[in-house]
Amino acid sequence: MTRTYETQQHCPVARSLDVLGDRWTLLVIRDLGLGRTKFGEFLDSLEGISPNLLSDRLKRLEEATIVQRVFYSKHPPRAEYRLTEKGEALRPVIEAIVAWGQRWEPQDAD
């Protein structure tokens, strides 16, 4: 894997950002944790993400063994996505980000 933060290769934060730091990636993981499993469900939830970018993010997460793709139909080929054990270990991280966001970046009241 090519590292974005090559000079920081000994830092676990930098190594984690190499895997999780791309735009939309944590939101895909959030959606998986909320029970979304199909490509169309992600597109509906992640308003503004292009199908090509979503496909790229899922592929990268699969390569990082955070997500597993499981085919449930051969003709036509259809897959759903699931968090692996490594992906499930990110749940407390996402929950901590939620708590931080609720406290320090509250939603503006309209």
Domain 6-104 fold: Arc Repressor Mutant, subunit A (1.10.10)
Are 81 and 41 in contact, with CB atoms under 8 Å apart? no
pLDDT band at 110 (very low <50, low <70, confident <90, very high): low
Interatomic CA distance for residues 70 and 80, integer angstroms: 5
Domain residue spans in the chain?
Answer: 6-104
Please check the confidence at residue 4 and state whether its pLDDT lies above 80.
no
* Structure token pair of residue 81: 């996505």
Burial class of residue 6 (count of CB atoms within 10 Å of its CB; 0-12, 13-18, 19+) = exposed
pLDDT at 107: 86
Which residues 6+ apart lie within 8 Å of 78 measured at CB?
Answer: 71, 72
> What pTM does this model have?
0.90
Tens-place pLDDT, residues 60-95: 999 999 999 999 998 999 999 999 999 999 999 999
Tens-place pLDDT, residues 11-59: 999 889 999 999 999 999 999 999 999 999 999 999 999 999 999 999 9
